[in-house]
Amino acid sequence: MASFFGEVVYPVSRAFWNDEDDHEVLENTEDTREFVINWIESEPSKLDKFIIVEGEMMIDFVTKTILENSKLVCIIEYDCDKNSTRIYLIDNSIYVCIVSTKLDLIHTGQLTEAIAPILSNSVNLYTLTSDHMLHFKSDEETNSISFLKKLCSSRSQSNENSEISTLNQPNFVTGACAGVFTYAEMTDLPCIMYILYTDTFILDSKNALPLVELFSDLFGKRPNLSAVNSSFFNKGNLYM
């Protein structure tokens, strides 16, 4: 906002991040902070299944229903403890990476670069993310309250699950999941990205249904909804 009478306020452009001309981005001091990967357990030489989870809603669901008896095996730190991304191990076979919800979108490329060696050691990569239905653009009218879309890397196209339709243009995904997917495409790794579109910003028993079915395939077991006693189902339409 203009603070002085007569001040010249130059227009800004949507093209620039935080209204900064690229000149300003380039002139700003270099951010020398880096991601530090700390393995609590010994670093695995091969990961059969590596699942990257991003977004508050998806993380909440995975944490409550899948990560119950998991083991924390790795902490990826950036800036401070609050920003740490964590890797958990389930049933000694599935590695799940929970991307910190505090991580700024502008650092997600850097995170991808940091975990690239782990991605290269993975046999099958999956990414899980979510978005609001308002952001989904399509000619087709939909009455469902939630639905899943997927994107398959060139290598994984033959293994694709045909029940979930492919993300159509002009929809796109940004962030760590997109970074991992791009890396997989460039290095010829099989990767499938799942995106859950919902009509609310919180999950309830109805709009979580596509995830229940997907998780049965992905984790080899149905998510333990009965064990959940808080959070993601508690913000329904009930007032009491």
**Sole window of 36-44, 66-74, 84-92, 174-182 interacting with other proteins (rule: CB under 8 A):** 174-182
Q: Which of 124, 132, 110, 112 is nearest to 58 (CA)?
A: 132
Closest to other proteins by CB, 66 or 178:
178
Q: Could you give the CA distance from residue 120 to residue 128 in angstroms, rounded to a whole number? A: 18
Task: Order the strands of the 80-90 sheet from edge to edge.
Answer: 36-39, 71-78, 80-90, 94-98, 47-53, 122-132, 191-198, 146-152
Among 186, 227, 238, 240, interactor with other proteins by CB under 8 A: 186
Number of amino acids touching other proteins (CB under 8 A): 50
Candidates 55, 175, 190, 210: give the one binding other proteins (CB under 8 A).
175
**Residue 101 engages other proteins in binding (rule: CB under 8 A):** no
Instruction: Note whether 34 binds other proteins by CB under 8 A.
Output: no
Cα torsion for 174, 180, 183, 189, to the nearest 10°? Answer: -130
- If binding is defined by CB under 8 A, does position 36 make contact with other proteins? no
Task: Indicate which single residue of 63, 65, 83, 110 sits in contact with other proteins (rule: CB under 8 A).
Answer: 110
- The single residue listed with the structure tokens 């929970």 is 98
Question: Which residues bind to other proteins, rule: CB under 8 A?
Answer: 10-11, 13-17, 21-23, 25-26, 28, 30-31, 105-106, 108-110, 112-113, 137-139, 141, 151-153, 157, 166-176, 178-179, 181-183, 185-187, 193
